[in-house]
Chain A
Amino acid sequence: DIQMTQSPSSLSASVGDRVTITCRASQGIRNDLGWYQQKPGKAPKRLIYAASSLQSGVPSRFSGSGSGTEFTLTISSLQPEDFATYYCLQHDSYPITFGQGTRLEIK
């Protein structure tokens, strides 16, 4: 099974900050990775697919990069609505696996 190690597990930041979240795969997954945002009591929402493609309707302050085993999600300038939990997901091979999540909190 491919393990997805996501870091940090939690993060405190301020509005306007630049934030980076990382996911490392235990083996190469090409660019078969997505990033998801989840707010309390709500379903996850995909932000990024194919490692770096922005989902339609998602603000351009979100960006993804990486290939192989190391991936990053960057929020260029945090907005109040961005405080949530973020997950990566690999779908290169079964079983599909998620990172353990990053809780982004207001400083």
Chain B
Amino acid sequence: EVKLLESGGGMVQPGGSLRLSCAASGFTFSSFAMTWVRQAPGKGLAWVSTLSGSGGSTYYADSVKGRFTISRDNSKNTVYLQMSSLRAEDTAVYYCARDVNGGYWGQGTLVTVSS
């Protein structure tokens, strides 16, 4: 059974940093790209970033480029999202998903950016 479990969310002040983790199980992790998607309160889904299975290719939404970094540790079956220079508009539930087209999703972790 495919499982994705996000962690690392919380409240942070504007300008601060946070690292999200997504632990995967139930599939050959290194064979799949991994994606982060977010959802601001009461809003729709927004793609954030995708990382290839090997880790060699990364893609970012313009809204986070230069501030967020996606990475993975295939020995730990975990993908990360390092978020820095956080803004109020980054407040959202962050989901990790398997592959670029989201066949499986985690339950999400809430990030709140507020002073």
The chain A residues found within 8 Å of chain B, CB to CB, are 32, 34, 36, 38, 42-46, 49, 55, 87, 89, 91, 94-101
Contacts and interface: CB of A to CB of B under 8 A. Distances in A.
Interface of A is mostly: loop
Given A43-B95, A43-B107, A98-B44, A34 B102 contact: yes
B102 A97 contact: no
Interface in B42-100: 44-47, 50, 59, 61-62, 95, 100
Given A43-B95, A49-B103, A89-B102, A98 B46 contact: yes
B47 A98 contact: yes
B35 A96 contact: yes
Interface residues of B, number: 20
B62 to A, nearest CB: 7
Contact of B102 (A32, A36, A42, A101): A36
